[in-house]
Chain A
Amino acid sequence: MAEFDPVAILRCLVDREVEFVVVGGVAARLRGAPLLTQDVDITPSLTRPNLERLVAALADLQAQLRTSDEPAGIPFPFDPLLIESANVWTLTTRSGDLDLAISPHGTGGFKDLIRAADRLVIALDPELVVNVASLADVIRSKEAAGRDKDRAALPLLRRTLEELDL
């Protein structure tokens, strides 16, 4: 299993000029919630040129499909139409797990999430800046998803949001 390196994954996407918003656990952590996660979740813009850039980045990352039966990954021929056709893609890459959340639960996808997203510096030397979903949107999505692990994280996320609002 590849060592988890979210900065390497996100840097690759930025280098390929992919338009996306970081969502999920990494977004929550970047916003200040002390949570742990072992995958990067992103919501990409669904324009055709952007999906083509995303496919190129996935090739750079040696992305493969990740399933419970095959956590090490299954080779898969990604293309823009295919990516758009599913709501979630769970992938493994040379830098750890990457999930494409095309339209996260309770949200309208990229166009919805980008409204409240901020560009945050997530690494230095060289600097890396990415769009990160608002904590309110992360909470909204986890509430709507309603999975046990999402529900378990909600009190901490809400506490963080309260502190940010003070």
Chain B
Amino acid sequence: MLLLMVGNELIREARLRARMTQAELADRLGTHQSVVARWESGRTHPDFDTVVRAVRSAGFDLGVAITEHNDHDLALVRRELRLAPHERLAGMVEAVRKFAEMTEIAVG
């Protein structure tokens, strides 16, 4: 389901990064510009194989990986997202300072 939502964006992003026109990408894929236009606009949903092939035709590889679920990370992320950007940066600077202090103490 996620890929259905983002497949069009991935194809468009790969094409723009490769500085290609829709017609050029279509040509490499052996299809018509209008097909690429429909993918990119979200009017049609390319399947997984098509997204991989389109991204590769633009000169990139699409990386997909399954990683271990970690609730601790999620709690940290959600806490951070509740802050404004300036608060996130200030929090990081403070953490770096404390970390440096601890390192100095540990080193003596």
Binding site for B on A (CB under 8 A): 3-7, 26, 29-38, 108, 112, 120-124, 132, 143, 155-156, 158-160, 163-164
Q: State whether A32 touches B88 (Cβ < 8 A).
A: yes
Bound CA–CA A160/B78 (angstroms): 8
Q: Does B96 contact A (CB under 8 A)?
A: yes
Chain B neighbourhood of A7, CB < 8 A: 89, 93
Question: Chain B, 28-39, contact with A by CB distance < 8 Å: what is the 0/1 string?
Answer: 000000000000
| Residues A164 and B81 in contact in the complex (CB < 8 Å), given A122-B89, A155-B73 | yes
Q: State whether A30 touches B89 (Cβ < 8 A).
A: yes
* Closest residue of A by beta carbon distance from B83: A32
Binding site for A on B (CB under 8 A): 17, 63, 67, 70, 73-74, 76-81, 83-86, 88-89, 92-93, 95-97, 99
| B19 CB to nearest A CB, Å | 8
| B52 CB to nearest A CB, Å | 16
Bound CA–CA A163/B75 (angstroms): 11
A26-B92, A30-B89 are known; give 12 further A-B pairs, CB within 8 A: A4-B97, A29-B80, A31-B85, A32-B83, A34-B76, A36-B96, A122-B89, A123-B86, A155-B67, A156-B73, A159-B77, A163-B78
| Residues A143 and B63 in contact in the complex (CB < 8 Å), given A29-B88, A121-B85 | yes
Chain A neighbourhood of B89, CB < 8 A: 6-7, 26, 29-30, 122-123
Q: State whether B17 touches A112 (Cβ < 8 A).
A: yes
| A137 CB to nearest B CB, Å | 10
Q: State whether A121 touches B86 (Cβ < 8 A).
A: yes
Chain A neighbourhood of B97, CB < 8 A: 3-4
Chain A neighbourhood of B86, CB < 8 A: 121-124
Of the A-B pairs whose beta carbons lie under 8 Å apart in the complex, a sample of 8, sorted by A's number, is A4-B96, A33-B80, A36-B95, A120-B85, A121-B84, A122-B85, A122-B89, A163-B77
